[in-house]
Amino acid sequence: MDFAMERKRIVIVGGVAAGASAAARARRRSEAAEIVLIERGPDVSFANCGLPYFIGGEIKQREALAVQTPQTLKAMLALDVRTSTEAMAIDRAGKRVHIRSLASGTEAWLAYDRLILAPGAVPVRPPLPGIDDPRIFTLRSLADMDRIKAAAASARRIAVIGAGFIGLEMAEQFVHLGKQVALIEMLNQILPPLDRPMTMLMEDELKRRGVELIVNDGIESFAAENTLTCRLKSGRTVSADLVVLSIGVRPDTALAKAAGLELGPRGHIRVNGFMQTSDPEIYAAGDAVEVKDLLTGEPTAVPLGGPANRQGRLAADHIFHPEQTQPYTGALGTAIVRAFDIAAGLTGWSEKRLQAAKRAYRTVTVNDNHHAGYYPGAKPMLLKLLWEPATGRVLGAQATGFLGVDKRLDVLATAIAGGMTIDDLAQLELSYAPPFGSAKDIVNLAAFTAINARDGLVTPVDAIPDDPSIQVVDTRPAPLAQAHPLTQVRAINIPLAALRQRLGELDRNRPVVTVCAFGKTAYFAARILAQNGFNVSTLTGGIRAHFDPRTPAKLPTP
């Protein structure tokens, strides 16, 4: 008999993204199945990515975050939803789960025909002195959200530990509430998954909005006084009425480990392309699993809501109709964050990750507007493209700017998933009208620049050299170069329009690096110089791409 037509019991442990998605898909696949959803917390199917925005007041109604309730899931999908119920153990031989009601303490064994584990991840809370102070919070659930929102109401100064995606969202929302915010990151930059230059614009925005940004300094301990004292590894102290830890998550896989399921080196549940664990009748999905990297096929873990939902759906599909189910292709780690007026994100591999893996790559950075520059409201955007030299295949991309960042990242994520090359990107036909884009979109522009680099039409460099033997030619118009000089190097200002007439001012026996505000003019200048016998390179992305808000006097915004 068809499995979908049989009265089989599917037990799902974990009721948020992956678990709820699996339950809904399972019901659509089979009206006959008995589907039991076990959730340790009081809420199921809630939008945990929206939690910071309710704390800050952008989302007004709490119920908007509760995508479904046990009652609606029962009414719409005929699910047996058991909240405040913990899965204690798995008897794989007997195909049953030991469960306990957290409200009554009642325990029972629940048989299953197929089991789906979607336990998610839990926030990292390191064993630091003072970490148990009740004013130190993590954010993972609606209950966490409620506690933070209540505590923030009376707080004046708040410290956010960790400047990743969630940390930035929390810092932004606390500023919206009128709080003094310190954002502390142990690494030397915010948004550690991105390459350093791609974070500079957002760093500048955070400071402009009054966030006290402390980087390259980790938390060492907390001391409880009238306010909390956060002691950093440098010895510096930060006082706060409330602290939010946002330093990462770890997979919640104790149940799977105790059941003898195979785990990866960082504790994630290993699954195949159909989300089956080492026990083929037990599936796993979401933040707790180890999947393959889409580009390399190597094991990776991506704790993001989008992949979790797709994995839960796929697991349910495979249970009922394995012959129709396509395997999970892998994860790219596509992510984006907004802080005030700036957005930043990435897809695929970053430069530092490629360097660490010792993989061959090339990269270019380009600057352009998010739509036609002549149409009112055009905003600048910075895009970094990475590709494989041997094949031209796109390996990764990062973008930051005011508007349109999400659109470009989505295009590039699709390109990577499709195995597209820089030549394919150059030919990509994207929607264009002046309010929406440009005839040559920044994605096309990045591909053009990459092809120019590959074909030897330009040699990009990613920093202005301080070697006095190298001639730095500033090709900006004279008034702009005088208003915002390159004070850290000796540069000769030869505007592009005058370059052909002033070639005699340059020494053909010494290398040249051309620079400009956004990179285009410097490239045009480099082509002139190269065809006149000069050994020339160009600052990729222009001065704007290398503006560091920590040292604005050196590289001001043009």
Is 116:283 a contact under the CB 8 Å cutoff?
Answer: yes
Q: Is the pLDDT of residue 431 over 70?
A: yes
- State both tokens at 393: 């295949």
Q: Is residue 395 helix, strand or coil?
A: strand
Tell me the per-residue pLDDT of 342-355, one tens digit each, with 9 for 90 and over. Answer: 999 999 999 999 99
The mean pLDDT value for 72-79 works out to: 92
The mean pLDDT value for 143-151 works out to: 96
Tell me the per-residue pLDDT of 88-139, one tens digit each, with 9 for 90 and over. Answer: 999 999 999 999 999 999 999 999 999 999 999 999 999 999 999 999 999 9
pTM: 0.91
Q: Is the pLDDT of residue 548 over 80?
A: no
Determine if residue 133 is left, alpha or beta; phi over 0 gives left, psi from -120 to 50 gives alpha, anything else beta: beta
Tell me the per-residue pLDDT of 474-511, one tens digit each, with 9 for 90 and over. Answer: 999 999 999 888 877 889 999 999 999 999 999 999 99
Provide the percentage of residues in the chain whose pLDDT is more than 70: 97
Sheet of strand 114-117: strand arrangement: 80-82, 34-38, 9-13, 114-117, 282-284
Tell me the per-residue pLDDT of 362-386, one tens digit each, with 9 for 90 and over. Answer: 999 999 999 998 999 999 999 999 9
DSSP letter at 404 equals: S
Tell me the per-residue pLDDT of 9-21, one tens digit each, with 9 for 90 and over. Answer: 999 999 989 999 9
User: With bands split at pLDDT 50, 70 and 90, how would you rate the model's confidence at 551?
Assistant: very low
d(CA 80, CA 387): 48
As a whole number of angstroms, the longest Cα–Cα distance in the chain is 89
Q: Is the pLDDT of residue 555 over 50?
A: no
Which value, to the nearest 10 degrees, does the dihedral of the CA atoms of residues 53, 412, 429, 526 take? 110
Q: Is the pLDDT of residue 5 over 90?
A: no
* H helix and E strand count, the chain: 15, 31
d(CA 364, CA 537): 13
Is 256:290 a contact under the CB 8 Å cutoff?
Answer: no
Q: Which of 175, 154, 134, 156 is nearest to 52 (CA)?
A: 175
Lowest mean pLDDT among 219-223, 418-422, 467-471, 482-486: 482-486
The mean pLDDT value for 136-154 works out to: 96
Q: What is the mean pLDDT of the chain?
A: 93
Count of residues for the chain?
558
Q: Is the pLDDT of residue 222 over 90?
A: yes
Lowest mean pLDDT among 3-12, 247-256, 491-500, 514-523: 3-12
More confident: 544 or 461: 461
Provide the percentage of residues in the chain whose pLDDT is more than 90: 87
d(CA 335, CA 198): 14
DSSP letter at 6 equals: S
- What domains are there in the chain, each with its CATH number? 3-122+250-324 (3.50.50.60), 136-187+194-247 (3.50.50.60), 341-454 (3.50.50.60), 460-545 (3.40.250.10)
Q: Is the pLDDT of residue 554 over 50?
A: no
d(CA 450, CA 496): 22
Q: Is the pLDDT of residue 552 over 50?
A: no
Say which residues have a Cβ less than 8 Å from residue 527's Cβ, sequence separation at least 6.
Answer: 457, 458
d(CA 408, CA 189): 23
**CA distances from residue 31 to 68, 77, 282, 417 in whole angstroms, order as listed:** 19, 9, 21, 34
Amino acid identity of 544? R
The mean pLDDT value for 520-530 works out to: 95
Q: Is residue 355 helix, strand or coil?
A: helix
- State both tokens at 506: 């340059």
Q: What are the φ/ψ torsions at residue 448 (nearest 5 degrees)?
A: -55, -45
d(CA 247, CA 372): 39
d(CA 468, CA 513): 12
Q: Is the pLDDT of residue 70 over 90?
A: no
- State both tokens at 334: 């596509």
What is residue 4's predicted lDDT score, i.e. its pLDDT? 62
What is residue 2's predicted lDDT score, i.e. its pLDDT? 66
What is residue 69's predicted lDDT score, i.e. its pLDDT? 85
- State both tokens at 287: 């933040």
Q: What are the φ/ψ torsions at residue 487 (nearest 5 degrees)?
A: -75, -20
Tell me the per-residue pLDDT of 162-219, one tens digit each, with 9 for 90 and over. Answer: 999 999 999 999 999 999 999 999 999 999 999 998 999 999 999 999 999 999 999 9
Amino acid identity of 40? R
What is residue 547's predicted lDDT score, i.e. its pLDDT? 56
Count of CB atoms situated within 10 Å of the CB of 425:
26
Q: Is the pLDDT of residue 315 over 90?
A: yes
d(CA 299, CA 272): 11
Q: Is the pLDDT of residue 455 over 90?
A: yes
